[in-house]
Amino acid sequence: MAVPDDASSIASILHRSFVEYEFSYTAEAFAATISTPAQIRERFAEGPIWVALQGEIIVGTVSAVPQDEALYIRSMAVDPAARAKGIGGELLKYAEEFAIKNGFKRLLLSTTPFLSRAIGLYEQCGFSESDEGAKDLFGTPLFTMAKSLE
């Protein structure tokens, strides 16, 4: 589990993970995606935040927020230098275990059509496209993926 002192490292991971896609986002959507340390600190009151470590270095993160009977996954990121090592799948597993332990019936997340590696991971972990959720983030297309836990 992350602690508030991890906020700057989490913001750095988010930026490094998404900067290669910055041109595909509107400026507002990119800013919302990467989040500032202050925004991340505020999220500790909204739900759990996990980090993945290599040694003592944070190389990945995911957070979640309850939405009725679903746990909404957000801010999933793995440092580009640490990708393809199963870190994203492990982070999702922690979120899923938390959801099951706390009685949530589904996991939800939003993603953009151009994040093909992430979409592949989500599908591999049992998520499928859903009709619900927002269709854009400040002019950048979005779609929702869901996974039943029942």
pLDDT digits (tens, 9 = 90+) for 21-60: 999 999 999 999 999 999 999 999 999 999 999 999 999 9
CA–CA separation, 98 and 139 (whole Å): 32
Cβ-contact 122, 94 below 8 angstroms: no
pLDDT, tens digit (0-9, with 9 covering 90-100), for 74-118? 999 999 999 889 999 999 999 999 999 999 999 999 999 999 999
CA–CA separation, 95 and 74 (whole Å): 10
pTM for the structure as a whole: 0.93
Query: Can you give the residue range of the structural domain that contains 128?
Result: 4-148
pLDDT band for position 133 (cuts 50, 70, 90): confident
How many domains does the chain contain in total?
1
In this structure, the strands spanning 70-78 and 106-111 are parallel
Q: What is the CATH number for 131?
A: 3.40.630.30
pLDDT band for position 141 (cuts 50, 70, 90): very high
